[in-house]
Amino acid sequence: MSQSPAPAHPTSYPGGLDRRQVVAWRNAMFVIFSLCGLGLASWVARLPAVRDSLGASTLDMGALIFGLSLGSILGLLVSSHVIARLGARTTMRWAFTVAPVGLAFAGISASLGTGFAAIFVGLAVFGAFFSVNDVAMNVSGAANERALGRTIMPIYHAFFSFGTIIGAGAGALAEAWAVPIAVHMGIVAVVIFGAGQLSLRFLQSEHGVAEGEEPVADDDHSKSWRGRLSIWRDPRTLLIGVIVLGMAFAEGSANDWLTLAMVDGHGLSRAGGALMFGIFVTAMTVGRLCGVFLLDRFGRVPVLRGSAALAMVGLLIVIFVPSAEVAIVGIVLWGLGSALGFPVGMSAAADDPKTAAARVSAVATIGYVAFLVGPPIIGVLGEHFGILRALLVVLVLVVAAGLASGAAREPKGATREPKKVAAPEA
C-alpha cells in the first residue's frame, strides 16, 4: 500500500502556532529590522546639516554623537532585565513609541537651534530605546528562526542594511530639496512609529517551546537580576562575544574608515572612495542574503571559520597590495567575510530560550563596544602609522573571531526541521 506524501511544511509550530502565523511573524521582523536601519541612517545622513545649523565644530559634533552612544550603552545594560519583565514584543512596543519621539525631538531641536543639551537628550533617548529594541528584536527573531526550523537571522540583518540604504537615499534627497531637519526627522519618526506598531501585531511570544522542553519562566537566569547577570560568567557567552566583537569591528571599521583608507592609502578620489564603500556594503548584504544557504548546509562553525578567512585575506590585500584595482577584490572579500559574524552570533546567543534575553544582551553589548570604541582606536593608530597599517588591529580581532568560532556550534541534537510542539503553560 502506498503511503501518502509528507506535507511540505509542518502543521504545528512552537506555541501551538500554524504556518500562517509563523510566516507573518517572519515578515513583520523584516519590517522591524528595516525600520531600525532607516531611523539610524536618516539621522546620520543629516549630520552635515545639523553641524551647519548649529555652527558646530568637530569636537561639538563628537559630543552630540556621544549622546547617541551613551544612550545605546545604557539601553544595552538594562535590556535583558526589561525583556525578562515585559517580554520582547511589549518591549518593542515601548521602544517603537518612545524612540521616534527622541528622534523627532532631536530633529526639532537641531532646526530651531535650541542648544546642544536638547539634541543630546533627544539622541540619548533615541539611542537607549533603539538599543533595547535591538536586543528584543534579535531575541524575537531567534525565536522565529527556531520556529521556522531554518536559518533566517542573516536575512533579518540584511533588511537592516536595506533600511540604512533607504535612509541614506532619503537623506540625500532631503538635502537636495532643502527639507528642514525637523520636518525630515518628524516624517521618519511617524513612519517608524506607524509601521512598527502595525508590524508588532504579528509577532508571537518568544517563550513557545517544543514539546517536552522546560518552560522558559522556570529558569533562574530569567527570574532575577543576579541570574541574568551571571550569564557574563559563562565562557560560551564570552567566546560568542569574541566572535561578534571581531566581526563587528571588521564591519564598523569599514563603515568609518574604508573611504579614507582608499583615498589616502590608495590614491583614489573622494568619489572613488565612496564607490569602494558602496562595493563593501553591497558585498556584505549579498553575503547575508546568500549565507543562509551555506549555514543550513554546512553549519555555523565551518561558515564562520570560512568567513573569518575571507575577511583576513581581504584585509591583507587592502592593507598591503598597492594596486587599487586589486584592492577591489580585497574589499569584496572583506565585505563577504564580515557579513555573517554578528547575525550568527545573535542566533547562537539565543539558542537556549531560557537564557536568550540575557545572553543576547551580553553579546550585543560586547559587539557594540566594537562599533563605539573601534573608530577612535583606528584613528589614533592611523595618526601615527597611517590608516592602512592601523587596520591591522582589525585583522587581529578577525583572527580571534575565527579561533572562537567553535562556541557558536549548534546545540547537541539540534535539527533544522521544526519539531512537534506545544503551547507554553499559562
- Tens of pLDDT, residues 322-380: 998 999 999 999 999 999 999 999 999 988 888 888 888 889 888 877 777 777 788 78
What average pLDDT does this structure show over 293-297? 94
What's 227-408's CATH class? mainly alpha
Ranking 179-188, 194-203, 266-275, 381-390 by mean pLDDT, the lowest is 266-275
d(CA 351, CA 410): 8
Query: Helix, strand, or coil here: 118?
Result: helix
Fold topology of 14-208: Growth Hormone; Chain: A; (1.20.1250)
What average pLDDT does this structure show over 201-230? 63
Higher pLDDT pick, 215 / 52: 52
pLDDT at residue 9 greater than cutoff 70: no
What average pLDDT does this structure show over 19-47? 93
Rounded to 5°, angle at Cα 49 from 117 and 174: 125
pLDDT for position 216: 47
Q: Which three cell numbers stand for residue 400?
A: 580571534
Q: Is 71:127 a contact under the CB 8 Å cutoff?
A: yes
Higher pLDDT pick, 164 / 404: 404
What average pLDDT does this structure show over 126-152? 92
Domain assignments of the chain as residue spans, ordered by start: 14-208, 227-408
Are both 14-208 and 227-408 of the same fold? yes
Q: What is the mean pLDDT of the chain?
A: 86
Strand partners, 422: 209
d(CA 264, CA 258): 10
pLDDT at residue 422 greater than cutoff 60: no
What average pLDDT does this structure show over 241-269? 88
β 209-210/421-422 pair status = antiparallel
pLDDT at residue 183 greater than cutoff 60: yes
pLDDT tens for 36-76 read: 999 988 897 888 788 888 888 867 877 787 788 889 889 98
Longest dimension (CA), the chain: 82
d(CA 259, CA 280): 10
pLDDT for position 224: 60
